[in-house]
Amino acid sequence: MNEVIVATQNAGKAKEFARLFEPLGITVKTLLDYPELPDVEETGETFAENALLKADSAARLTGKPAIADDSGLVIDALNGRPGVYSARYAGIEKNDRANNEKVLAELHDVPADERGARFACVLAVAFPDDREPLFANGYCEGTIAFEETGENGFGYDPLFIPEGYAVTMAQISPEEKNTISHRAKALHNLQALLPEWAGDGK
């Protein structure tokens, strides 16, 4: 497997996956390279269901293995919200600033020691043949800040303080983020299921 379709049109995610796959010698194509492919409606009730919907569609339509992630922010004080609705938490149109503002508003009276949260990621790999799909999970524990800080990353990164850090995910470098992110951990777990991705030829 020397090429994989990453089923996303999110430029931020595309860059992250490209950085993660580069050491494995795998060429990454994304839906940005296949503008003719239709959008997949994320109708699943879990991260795993949504990830598989996207990966399966891309694999069938391109004839190549496809990987998709569904990820989001899970906040304890909000009973797990925004969860699978993270991308459109503030409305149908994806708007990072509006999403962050909604989270801050809902947590306005929640004290620092009760703002626990985690980024969760489920990766699904679908194949164009009849092989069973593969799944891997990754989590990054942390807390929610009281205001947005930082210019790096995307989504909820300016609000999320990773465990062991005093700054938000948006204040650390992309390289460092890739060592602690939920997506990086999910990919690391997926590599154990796909030894050929590690370049050992098995």
pLDDT (tens digit per residue) in 121-180: 999 999 998 889 999 999 999 999 999 999 998 899 999 999 999 999 999 998 899 899
CATH code where residue 187 lies: 3.90.950.10
Checking if the pLDDT of 7 tops 80, the result is yes
Q: Give the pLDDT score at 202.
A: 37
Q: Give the pLDDT score at 32.
A: 87
pLDDT band at residue 55, thresholds of 50, 70 and 90? very high
**Cα(87)–Cα(92) distance, integer angstroms:** 9
Q: Is 177 annotated as a binding residue?
A: yes
Q: Give the burial class of 77: count Cβ atoms within 10 A of its Cβ; 0-12 exposed, 13-18 middle, 19 or more buried.
A: middle
Q: Give the pLDDT score at 200.
A: 43
Q: Is 106 annotated as a binding residue?
A: no
CA distances from 135 to 9, 67, 105 (A): 21, 10, 34
Do residues 5 and 62 make contact, with C-beta atoms less than 8 angstroms apart?
A: yes
Q: Give the pLDDT score at 21.
A: 76
Give the domain extent around 44: 3-198
Domain count for the chain, please give it: 1
Higher pLDDT, 26 or 155: 155
Q: Is 13 annotated as a binding residue?
A: yes
Q: Give the pLDDT score at 199.
A: 45
Q: Is 54 annotated as a binding residue?
A: no
pLDDT band at residue 39, thresholds of 50, 70 and 90? confident
Q: Is 64 annotated as a binding residue?
A: no
Higher pLDDT, 28 or 51: 51
Q: Give the pLDDT score at 198.
A: 42
Active site residues: 70
